Structure 1
Amino acid sequence: MCLIQPDEGSVKVTGKELTPILHGAGLELSDSHLEQYSALLTSFEAAIESLPDDREVQPRPDLEKYPRTDIHVPEDNDHGAWATKVTAKCVAPESNLLAGRTVALKDNIALAGVRCTNGTAMVDWVPEIDATVATRIMDAGATIIGKSACENACLEGVSCTSVTGPVHNPYAEGYSAGGSSSGSGRLVATGSVDLAIGCDQGGSIRIPASACGIVGLKPTWGLVPYTGMLGLDPTLDHTGPMAKNVRDCALLLEAIAGPDEWDDRQPRVELGGYQVDYVRHVDGVTRLPKHTMLSGMKVGILLEGFQIPNHDENIAVIVRAAAMKLSELGATVSSVSVPMHSEATATYMTFLPALTPQSLLGEQYGHRQLYLTERCGLVGKKLTQAQFDALGPGASYMYLAYLWAQEKHGSKLHSRCRNLLKEVADSYDRALKDFDVLITPTVPNPPARLPDHGSSEGPMKLMSMAGGILANTCPTNCTGHPAISLPVGFSPTHEDPNVKLPVGMQIIGRRFRDIDCLKVAAAWESSFDWKTS
């Protein structure tokens, strides 16, 4: 261990300062050792004082190259979909891949100079950096026109908890647009933007895509850099495209995929061209004769995905029928069982509270990534009452479950869940040796009616509204497999049979074979009309 010699004016640590810290940890030192360790900690403080400002190495944007103007909170937020409006673009784009397109960023994604609420009033943060995906979108010629509303701390699946207000379903006011990328789903569906970025830790791209009748892809873990975004945990965090159709989804993925030298979740190897050539492969499939589009592909209808407790049978029937239509496109379609799929949700929900230090307290560790030093400095070692009160029911429950688990179970519970989730990943891999993709309903029930009083309805009611909503989506966050939601029909809501809302079909692929998900989705989309199917 190398010791830094303190300067004359450096902080000097005394035994008097160290003693209460020791007592708080249940430790004691002899007087001699207390003096020596105080001297060592004085050296530690000198090392801290010698550190340069890390802002110099952060991806701070060149505002002449990437100007942003007209930053404001809109009076008309499109039924809750907008958090903040802005016009941000590159004056000298590197390509015209997204030329003329407008894009919304989920409001947990950093765009320098624009507030980033993460859907909550827990802290106020205006980033000084741009997320990698934001820079890549502007470099591809698109214009970012705002931040889309997201649910409170990105921990809700029903769109009534954002600090900026409830987000209404584009097909029926008063119903959920899904979450947590609720604003992104609505804005794409209504045509307010051409494209949007969502983030997904348990289904937060796919759930609103299903609810809003659009296409949403959770890419393979690590394919798209998560640099410059607020997340839950590096092992679960995914970001990806949301679009009106599959080709646009592939186009946006092509613009944002690939290593950025910050995010160590990304492989430092070539991926056989599939990493950056998605649109060509999608176009190649849709130009084929209908009956040959998916020739040679094997599609597995994942039985457990249709057996979620209290699922809506209408949705199961619609998705199963949509999956069977893939045989008309040349695919071989048959059933497959992956028993671990049913067990994954309980493991995920038990595992989730252990992520509280990173997701709510701003602690970051264990990965080579961009650390958001300014944002994490806004929260202490524990939440204040005001910060806790600013959370939605999902986030507040997670914090309380974390405190409970720390006291009653310790770190062993987290370790146990982490090991069990490895078997979930292995079980998908075994099934995907025999199938190119697996099919489930994205969400087992139609979107719920928004509560009259938003998140003040109380945690039990709001969390029961989201019951089972993650059952088919959260497993692939744990395993890293790509999964896309494609609209395939409409189903009546539980509250009113005259209100019919979109139904999504989820297509799960092998890791780093996102193109298989896109090809299957594109073939179905180009052959059938989901609004009349």
Structure 2
Amino acid sequence: MSVISLVVQEGNPVTEDTIRELAQKINGGMTFKDPQDITDYKSILAAFHDSAQSILAMDDYVPPSLSPDLERYPRGEISYPKIGSSENPLGGWACKFTIKDKKNLSRKGLLEGKTVVLKDCISVAGVPCTLGTDAIQPPWVPFVDATVVTRILEAGGIIAGKATTESMCQSASSFSSSTGPVDNPYGPGRTTGGSSSGCAALIADGSVDMAIGADQGGSIRMPCAFCGLVGLKPTFGLVPYTAIASNEWQHDYAGPMAKTVADVALLLQVIAGADGLDDRAGAGSPFPTDVPPYSERLEVPNADPSAPLKGKKVGILKEAFEMPVLDPRVAEKVKEAATRFRELGAEVEEVSIPLHSIAPTAWMTANRCVGGRTRLGHQAGHRQYYQNDLHNAIYPMKQEVWEKFIPATINSMLNCLYVWDNMPGLYGKAMNKTMEISHAYDMALAKYDCLVLPTVAFVANTHPSPDATALQKIMKSVGQGLNCCPFNGTGHPALSLPIGTLPPAKEDWLTETDGELQLPVGMQLVGKWWNEEGLFQLANAWEKKYDWKSL
């Protein structure tokens, strides 16, 4: 380890007591036997302090590709529709505005005329980004456009606004945003799922054509399952996460949401490809010019129209149907939908991957170890563009900020601190087990074109009461995404497809008429790394053959 300088400026705050206090923070408390060591380390740390201060005093760097072209893509007037109003009946809008290509250079682009909403964790220069919380005051206003924003605009898309996200993107339900709950269009007072809650509500009620959500443990797929939509968590690194607020680097994904497989494929085609600023894009990730034309490959080449999936093999993942809290009616509905692939020419059989049963625990422990550090302000370890303005708006954290965080956010911090103090070897073990689990999925996917699982464990449940305790709020989504989060850890692409409806379980009725509700059920298809094309072909064939609302 090199030391750049030992020159110390006048007024440097580092003392020998500083060294003693820091040593006490190492694994329960360390001491120095030789007093000279304290003096020497004090000199080294003091010099480091001055070097660090010199970096902090410099102007930050913003990559030119993230600077917005305000002449070509001017920001329209921003409005904030009131929840429950005719403009925002479900609470899905965080804010509304219009951004499109004023110069019309994108004519005949893939998204020409399509309206797109962005989850409110995605940076749009000049537009407040609340992250679903009022803990950041005044609201943070980014000065850059996320890579996906520029790509949508260049393709002729019209960005219609920002969609409500759950607080700090950390709730799988849809009641935690500081602006209020987001209601399911198929059942008022019920969850849309989170944390891309507003995105799902706005597509489902027809306000927009498509959306970009973000997914750290199912946050694209769960809302799509609850709201009758198609949603894709892409292969890890396929879509740049640049200038999107991060929860945990290795679990962060941005992806498309829409009513149809075709629109999801179209949007993915526009936003996919490495941008050179996000080191999630590793080996295998294409550059934008090499992204497959997903929207043109929705059908298997030279397929027999009467058996469009002939030659494909579908594996029904046994352990996915044995997860705790899984509603047996959902399990039956998804298995029934999976067997319908036979009518499309595919082979369908059950496959066992025992490690799937521990995959949620491996994901959760790894997420708490490092995602919790993100929540504590310890961003580090990656070659990417850091949004230091957001970081500085939260940290150093004050009591009033802490008090406005939801239980899930506070829990992640406490879990993180506990783990690193008491189980410092946990993260490495969790990551190795995740690798083992990933290899097990790979072995199965060498035989099958996709694995089939229930997306979520039950249909949309009710929001908790306003006076619910922290535990009561968390209980609303316990077990909900056990079949989603494993693939955030392993990186495999996963798509949720609507395949039928069910009424809510009787114990979750608000009134007797709730028994007449028909709430969407989602089936999840998981494929090989970089094989989104294969998932689209399977899902598109199923979608074209069956009307999910009648099943």
Given the superposition, is the C-alpha separation of residues 32 and 86 from structure 1 closer, same or farther in structure 2, using an over 3 Å criterion? same
Aligned-residue offset at 1:352: 2.2
Q: Is the 8 A contact 2:15 2:42 kept in 1?
A: no
Instruction: Flag structure 2 segments of 5+ consecutive residues without an equivalent.
Output: 24-30, 510-514
Aligned partner (choices 503, 508, 529) of residue 526 of structure 2 = 508
Q: Matches of residues 67-466 of structure 1 in structure 2 within 5 Å?
A: 67-75=74-82, 76=85, 77-92=88-103, 93-94=105-106, 96-123=109-136, 124-267=139-282, 275-282=291-298, 284-285=299-300, 289-380=304-395, 383-409=397-423, 411-453=424-466, 456-466=467-477
TM-score by length of 1: 0.93
The 2-side partners of 1:493 and 1:366 are apart by 44
Q: Is the 8 A contact 1:5 1:43 kept in 2?
A: no
SS in 1 for 2:452: strand
SS in 1 for 2:190: strand
The 1-side partners of 2:203 and 2:270 are apart by 18
The 1-side partners of 2:349 and 2:63 are apart by 55
The 1-side partners of 2:218 and 2:228 are apart by 15
The 1-side partners of 2:544 and 2:356 are apart by 30
The 2-side partners of 1:425 and 1:101 are apart by 36
Given the superposition, is the C-alpha separation of residues 484 and 34 from structure 1 closer, same or farther in structure 2, using an over 3 Å criterion? closer
Please say which of residues 437-446 and 28-37 is displaced more in the overlay: 28-37
Q: Is the 8 A contact 1:118 1:153 kept in 2?
A: yes
Aligned-residue offset at 1:251: 0.4
1:479 aligns with 2:490: yes
Q: Is the 8 A contact 1:132 1:225 kept in 2?
A: yes
Deviation readout 1:229-270 (Å, 9 max, x if unpaired)? 112211111110000100000000000000111011113657
TM-score by length of 2: 0.90
The 2-side partners of 1:532 and 1:56 are apart by 50
Given the superposition, is the C-alpha separation of residues 380 and 467 from structure 1 closer, same or farther in structure 2, using an over 3 Å criterion? same
Query: Which amino acid counterpart does residue 529 of structure 1 have in structure 2?
Result: D
Query: Which amino acid counterpart does residue 281 of structure 1 have in structure 2?
Result: R
2:10 — aligned with what?
Answer: 12
The 1-side partners of 2:217 and 2:60 are apart by 35
Query: Which amino acid counterpart does residue 63 of structure 1 have in structure 2?
Result: L
The 2-side partners of 1:35 and 1:447 are apart by 58
Q: Provide runs of 4+ in structure 1 moved above 6 Å.
A: none
1:25 — aligned with what?
Answer: 22
The 2-side partners of 1:431 and 1:296 are apart by 16
SS in 2 for 1:108: coil
The 1-side partners of 2:249 and 2:121 are apart by 15
Given the superposition, is the C-alpha separation of residues 195 and 56 from structure 1 closer, same or farther in structure 2, using an over 3 Å criterion? closer
2:51 — aligned with what?
Answer: 44
Query: Which amino acid counterpart does residue 389 of structure 1 have in structure 2?
Result: E
1:520 aligns with 2:538: yes
Aligned-residue offset at 1:292: 2.3
SS in 2 for 1:74: coil
Aligned partner (choices 41, 60, 66) of residue 59 of structure 1 = 66
SS in 2 for 1:169: coil
Deviation readout 1:370-426 (Å, 9 max, x if unpaired)? 111111112335x433222212222222122222223322x3112211111111111
Q: Is the 8 A contact 1:149 1:162 kept in 2?
A: yes
Query: Which amino acid counterpart does residue 399 of structure 1 have in structure 2?
Result: M
Query: Which amino acid counterpart does residue 192 of structure 1 have in structure 2?
Result: S
Q: Is the 8 A contact 1:168 1:186 kept in 2?
A: yes
Q: Is the 8 A contact 2:372 2:413 kept in 1?
A: no
Given the superposition, is the C-alpha separation of residues 5 and 508 from structure 1 closer, same or farther in structure 2, using an over 3 Å criterion? same
The 1-side partners of 2:294 and 2:307 are apart by 19
Query: Which amino acid counterpart does residue 441 of structure 2 have in structure 1?
Result: Y
Query: Which amino acid counterpart does residue 360 of structure 2 have in structure 1?
Result: T
Q: Is the 8 A contact 2:274 2:286 kept in 1?
A: no
The 2-side partners of 1:446 and 1:65 are apart by 43
Deviation readout 1:303-350 (Å, 9 max, x if unpaired)? 111111231111111111111011111111111011111111122222
Given the superposition, is the C-alpha separation of residues 286 and 466 from structure 1 closer, same or farther in structure 2, using an over 3 Å criterion? farther
Query: Which amino acid counterpart does residue 37 of structure 1 have in structure 2?
Result: I
Q: Is the 8 A contact 1:215 1:484 kept in 2?
A: yes
Please say which of residues 111-120 and 480-489 is displaced more in the overlay: 111-120
SS in 2 for 1:17: coil
Deviation readout 1:96-149 (Å, 9 max, x if unpaired)? 100001100001111111111111122231100111001100110011111101
Deviation readout 1:71-98 (Å, 9 max, x if unpaired)? 1212233321011111112234445100
Query: Which amino acid counterpart does residue 120 of structure 1 have in structure 2?
Result: T
Given the superposition, is the C-alpha separation of residues 445 and 479 from structure 1 closer, same or farther in structure 2, using an over 3 Å criterion? same
- Count of residue pairs brought into register by the alignment: 524
**Percent identical across equivalent pairs?**
39
Given the superposition, is the C-alpha separation of residues 32 and 485 from structure 1 closer, same or farther in structure 2, using an over 3 Å criterion? closer
Query: Which amino acid counterpart does residue 460 of structure 2 have in structure 1?
Result: P
Please say which of residues 56-65 and 176-185 is displaced more in the overlay: 56-65
The 2-side partners of 1:185 and 1:11 are apart by 55
